Amino acid sequence: MSGKASIFDPAAAGDLLTATPSGRALGAALGACGALPCGGVEAAGWAPLAALLRVQTGRPILLLAANLKLQEQLQQDLETWLKLLGANSPAKFFPDWEVLPHEDKLPHADCISERLEVLQALAGEIPPVITSTPAALMQCTLPPAEVRQRIRTLRLGDRLDPLDLVEWLEEQAFEPEAQVTARGELSLRGGIVDVFPFTTPWPVRCEFFGDELESLRYFNPHSQMSREKIDAVTLSPGGEVGLLKRLRDNPHATLLEHLPAETIVLSCDPDAIEEAGAQKVMEIPPGDGFHVEWTTLLARMEERGLTRLELSELADEDSLTLELNSLEAFRPMGARVPDPQVVEAQRREFFAQLHRWLRQEHRLLVLCNNEGEQQRLEELWVEYGFAAEAGPLPIALGTLSRGLIFPEGQWVVVSDAEIFGRYKVQRPRRLKSRHGAAMKSAFDINFTELEEGDYVVHVQHGIGRYLGMKIMPLSGAKEGQDNSAHECIVIEFAAGDPNNPPPKLYVPVSEAHLVSKYIGTGKAAPQLNTLGGKRWEKTKEKARQAVRDLAAEMLRIQAVREAEQGHAFGPDTTWQREFEASFLYEETPDQARCITEAKGDMEGTRPMDRLVCGDVGFGKTEVAIRAAFKAVMAGKQVAVLVPTTVLAQQHFNTFAERMIDYPVRIELLSRFRTKRQQAAAVEGLVNGAVDIVIGTHRLIQPDVKFKDLGLVIIDEEQRFGVAHKERFKMLRTHVDVLTLSATPIPRTLYLALTGARDMSTIETAPQDRLPVETIVVEYNEALIGRAIRRELHRGGQVFFLHNRVGTIHTMEQKLAGIVPEARIEVGHGQMKSDELETVMNRFINGEADVLLSTTIIESGIDIPNANTIIIDRADRFGLSDLYQLRGRVGRYKHQAYAYILLPRHAALLADARKRISAIKQYSSLGSGFKIAMRDLEIRGAGNLLGPEQSGHITAVGFELYCQLLKQSVAQLKGEQVRPRIEVETHFDFLALSPEQETGPRVVPTAQPRRKEDTIAVPREESWEWVEYDEDAPTVAEPENTCPIEPAYIPMDYISESPQRIDVYRRLAQSNARETVAELGEELRDRFGPLPRAMEHLLAVAELKVLASAKGVDSIVADRDRLKLRREGDYIALGGKFPRLTKKRARARLKEVKKLLLAL
C-alpha cells in the first residue's frame, strides 16, 4: 500500500474530475461562463481544488479570499499542493496595498514587488495560479500594454550607454540614490549602474566597459559587496503607485484586465467576499482615482465571460456539490494549551483513525512540516503498535494549514495540524526580502552619520560641535593660489575666553578616524572642551582608571566561575535533535550561533552564566526553549523567571506548545494560579514530577524548593528589584544561568566585553518582519475608528493602550461607540488574577478584537495576529517605553501600525516632542538600541555595567569608552597589546588632494641628524644611499626626479562626502594588510576599477600598517631620500639614508614597502 503513489502520481491527478460522478459534473460545468455555485467545499478544500483544476484543465486560476490572513493561508497551501501534484505552474500572491487610500504614503516595497511579479508573470507564456482578495482586485494597476512596454531584459554583452540605461530606469520610476539599499532605487558611479528591481531577490550591479555590458551580478544591499554573477536580468517597473500618479490622465486597469479570458475564478466563501468588497467601498474617499467599485468588478467579470466557481460549505438544491471536508470531525480543535493527558488520548485516537482508513483502503498521505516532525511521527506510529500490522505510514514533507478528506474518491490527506494539534499556528508566508540573513539591525552605531549641530569627540582634543564640511587652503600654500585646498571636517570647541568667539578645528578628511559621533548617557548636552586645555586628558585618565576597575571586577567574577564545578550536560540526544528540527521557522544565523554557544556552555564543566541580548521579537525565547529542553533531557529541572504575570502566561503557553509532543511537565507559578494549583506545582518541584516551572518573583520565595535544579533562565533581569538580583547572584554559583535581555547591546560594547563576560547577541531580524509604520496624530475618533476597522477587515486584532485605570471603562464606552462591531476586552493590573487571565486568554485565542489595557502588555507579550497598536496620551510615556510598546506589534509578516495619539490643542513640552520625533524616526527594524541611547541610561550599557560607569560614558563618549574598556580587558588578561603607532607620512611625489597636483609642492625643511642618532640596519646591495656630513658646506638639494602623482579619493570616483569620509576612516583604522586589500576589493566591486589616485592611497595605507608593525612612526620621502624614524631615531643602512631610484610613484611605493619588510 502506498498512499503517496496512488494519490499524487501526476498522471492520476485528474481523478477528481474524471473518476467520480461529482467530479465529472464539475468538469462539465466549467465550460459555462458566469457564476457557478458549488457546495460542500470546506476551507481545507479550496487550495487542493484550485491545484487539481489547474493540473486537469491547464487553465489560469484566480483564488479569491475575503481577507489577507485567509489569502496567506491559501497561498501556503496552494504552493504545497502544486508541488505535490507535480504542476509546473507558479503560485503567485497579489496583495492589496495595505495603506489607507487617503494616507500620503507608499505601500511597502515587498507588497509592490509581489504585485509586479504577478503582472510580469501574466505577461509571460505560462500564466500563474494567483491568490488575491477583493481589496487587491479593486485597486488599480498599470494596463497590460503599459506593463509589457516597461519590462526590459539585460544580457551580458549587450551594447548600450550606461547613461541611456539610467534615463530609461528613471522613466520607470526608479529613484536615483547615492547608494542602492532598497527596492526601486538606482545609482550611477562611472561605468557602474546599481539597480534594485522589484522582481529580483537581490539588487543588481551592471558594470560597463565603454558601451558594452561586461558584468552582471547580484550584490548585498547592506554590505554593498557582490554575491553571485548572473547572465541576464529582467527589469520591471520601478514602482506602481508612483507610475499610476504620473499616468493619472491615462485609463488605469485592474488585475482582471491582465487575466486571460479562459481564467477560472474561485470565490472562497462568496458571502464573506461580498461583505469584504462592500466594506472596502466604504473606505474609498470620494473622487479617488485608484479604485474600482466591487459591483463594477463583478460586472466586468460577466462582460469578459470569466468562469466564476463560488465555493461554500453548504449546498443548495440547484448548486453543484463536491464534498471536500476538513478533518475536524476526526480531530477536534483543542484549547491553546490543553492538558497533556487529553492531548495524548486525542492523538492516540486519531492514530487509530488513520489505521482504520488504511484498513478501509482509503488512499492516505501524511504531510509533515519538517524532518523533525516526521521522525517523531514515525516513532509514535511504532509506539502505538500500528506499524506491525499496517506497515510504515506514507509520509511526505510539506506545509498545510489543514488536512482534508474526499469521501467519494476515498482519499485522505493529513497535516501536522491534526497530528500534533497545531491548529492555532499560522505558518509564515515568505516575504520578498530574501536577504533577511544579510540584514543586520542597527546594532552598531555609525559614528560617521553626522548632522550639523551634532556633538562629536576628537580623540586628541575632546568634545566639540560638528559644523559641517568645508574646503580649506593647504597650510603653506602661497597666497592667491585658491586651488590648493583640502576637504575638512569643521568642529567648534569652547572658547577659552568668553570674550572671544569659539575656536574651530579643521580636520582633513584623511584624519576622519580621529572624530566620532558623541553618544552619552543623559539628556543634558555635554560640556564642550577647550582647544589646548588640560581637562580632556584628565577626563580620559579618570575614565581609563574606571574601566580598568570594571574590567578587573568582571574578570574576577569570571575567574571564580572558572573554578566552580557545575553539571556538565551530555551531547544532544535524538529527541533533542528531533525537537529542534520541528521548529516551524528557519533560525536566523545569529539565533543558531546563540543556541550553539549556550549548549556549548551547558556541556562544559563550569556553571554557565550567559547573557543573550536581542531586540524585541528577534527570537531569544527559542534559544531559552532549546536550552531548557536539553536540561530536561538530562534529568534536570528548569526554572524560568519573568518580571510580569502576563509574560509568565505567555512563556508558559509558548513552552507548552513547543514541547507538547514530548513527555515534559510544565507548570506556571504566578497570581494567575489558585493557591491549590500553586501548592501542587511546588510539591511537584520538590518530588521531581515537574520538569519546567515558569513564574514571577514567586519562584524565588523560600518555600519553593527543587529536587534537582539544573538551569535558571531569567528574562528581562533589569526589570527585577535589587533584592531579587542578589538572590539571582546566589543562584549563579551553583547552577547554569541563561539571562535574556530585550535591551540591545551595541556591537562596540559587545566586542569590548569579549573575554570578560559570556555574551551572545541576536542582531538579525526574522526574515518575515517588517518595520512598524508609525503614525503620530492628535486624538481623533474618526481616525481611531478607521484604524481599528482596517485591522479587523484583514483578520487582525488591535491593542489600545490607555494607561489610567480610573478612566479605562469610560474609554471602553467611547470605543464601543466608535466601533460597535468590535469585541472589546479590558485588562489592567488591578483586576483579580482569574479575571485578567480570562481576558488575556480570550484575546490570545482570537475571541476578542480589541484589548483595551494599561501597560501590562509592555513586557514580552507576543500575539502575532495583533498588528495595530493605538497609544493614547503618548506624551506621558518615556521613549524606551514607547519603543517597547510599539514592539508588541509587527511580530509577524504583516505590515504593522503604531498610532501615537497626542492630546488635542495641547502644547507639548520640549522633551515630549523629542521623544515622539525619535520614535517616528527610528522605525526601522532593530533600531531599539538607538532609542535606548537617545532616552537613556544607555539602557543596555547602564544595566550591564552599572550606574557608576554612566558618568564616564558621558564624559568621554561611548565609542572612546568602549575602546578604553577593550584595551583594559586585554591588558588584564595578559594579552600582548602593542599600542597602535600612528604613522606620519610625507611623500614629496604624491599629491593628497587634486589641488596639490597643480599647486606648489610643500616640503618640510629637512633637519640634520648626527650619525650617532641613527640606528644601523643590515645594508642591502640593491639600495643606493647618501652619506650625510654635518661639517660639509651646504649645497643645493637635488630636485625630485619623480613627477608628482595623486593619492586621494577622486570626487568622480566616490562623489558623496559621507562615503568618502567612511573610506578614509576605514583606511586609517586598518590594522592588517589583509584589511587594506579587502577594502580595495570592495571599492573595485562597488565603484569600479581603481583609479591611480586610489591605488596610491591604498598603497600608503598598507605602508602605514607595515610601519606600525615594525615600530616605525614616521615615513618621509624627500628628494629621492627615504627617512624612517623609530623611537625618535632615524633608520639608516650602514649609516646612510636609503635612496629611492624609481621614476614613478607606484614603483617608489614598492621600494618603500620592500625596505619596511626587510626591517
For 62-88, write each residue's pLDDT tens digit: 999 998 889 988 999 999 999 888 887
* Same domain assignment for residues 198 and 301: no
Q: List, in order, residues 6 or more apart from 144 with CB less than 8 Å away.
A: 119, 122, 123, 253, 257, 258
State the total domains in the chain: 7
CA atoms within 13 A on the CB side of 456: 30
CATH of the domain at 156: 3.30.2060.10
Would the pLDDT of 166 be above 90?
yes
Would the pLDDT of 621 be above 80?
yes
pLDDT of the residue at 890: 74
* Same domain assignment for residues 779 and 875: yes
Would the pLDDT of 949 be above 80?
no
pLDDT of the residue at 114: 92
What letter represents residue 729's amino acid?
Answer: K
Q: Does 674 map to a domain?
A: yes
For 681-738, write each residue's pLDDT tens digit: 999 999 999 999 999 888 888 888 999 999 999 987 767 776 776 676 666 667 899 9
* Same domain assignment for residues 220 and 258: no
pLDDT of the residue at 217: 95
Last residue of a domain, one of 292, 322, 352: 322
Q: Does 382 map to a domain?
A: yes
What residues make up the domain containing 346? Answer: 327-420
* Same domain assignment for residues 173 and 92: no
Last residue of a domain, one of 298, 322, 346: 322
* Same domain assignment for residues 308 and 363: no
Q: How far, in Å, CA of 267 to CA of 133, rounded?
A: 10
* Same domain assignment for residues 647 and 603: yes
* Same domain assignment for residues 577 and 497: no
pLDDT interval class at 967 (50, 70, 90):
confident
Mean pLDDT of 836-851: 87
Q: Does 436 map to a domain?
A: no
Q: Does 311 map to a domain?
A: yes
Mean pLDDT of 532-554: 89
Mean pLDDT of 179-197: 92
* Same domain assignment for residues 398 and 354: yes
pLDDT of the residue at 1019: 36
| Strands across the sheet containing 666-669 | 666-669, 692-695, 637-641, 709-715, 736-741, 609-614, 759-762
* Same domain assignment for residues 875 and 1010: no
CATH of the domain at 672: 3.40.50.300
Q: Does 892 map to a domain?
A: yes
Q: Does 705 map to a domain?
A: yes
Q: Does 432 map to a domain?
A: no
* Same domain assignment for residues 583 and 680: yes
* Same domain assignment for residues 809 and 707: no
193-197, 939-943, 1024-1028: the lowest-pLDDT one: 1024-1028
Looking at the chain, the whole-number percentage of residues with pLDDT higher than 70 is: 81
Q: How far, in Å, CA of 402 to CA of 948, rounded?
A: 56
For 989-1030, write each residue's pLDDT tens digit: 988 776 665 543 333 333 333 333 344 343 333 343 333 343
Q: How far, in Å, CA of 763 to CA of 926, rounded?
A: 7
Q: Does 899 map to a domain?
A: yes
pTM: 0.73
Q: How far, in Å, CA of 463 to CA of 491, rounded?
A: 9
* Same domain assignment for residues 225 and 133: no
Last residue of a domain, one of 902, 924, 946: 924
Say if strands 504-508 and 485-492 run parallel, antiparallel, or are unpaired.
Answer: antiparallel
CATH of the domain at 1028: 3.90.1150.50
For 309-365, write each residue's pLDDT tens digit: 999 888 777 778 888 998 888 876 555 555 667 777 888 888 899 999 988 888 888
pLDDT interval class at 524 (50, 70, 90):
low
CATH of the domain at 252: 3.40.50.11180
List, in sequence order, every beta strand (DSSP E) within 134-242: 152-155, 175-176, 185-189, 192-195, 204-209, 212-219, 226-229, 232-235
Q: How far, in Å, CA of 353 to CA of 412, rounded?
A: 11
For 629-685, write each residue's pLDDT tens digit: 999 999 999 999 998 888 888 899 889 888 887 889 999 998 878 889 999 999 999
532-536, 793-797, 896-900, 1033-1037: the lowest-pLDDT one: 1033-1037
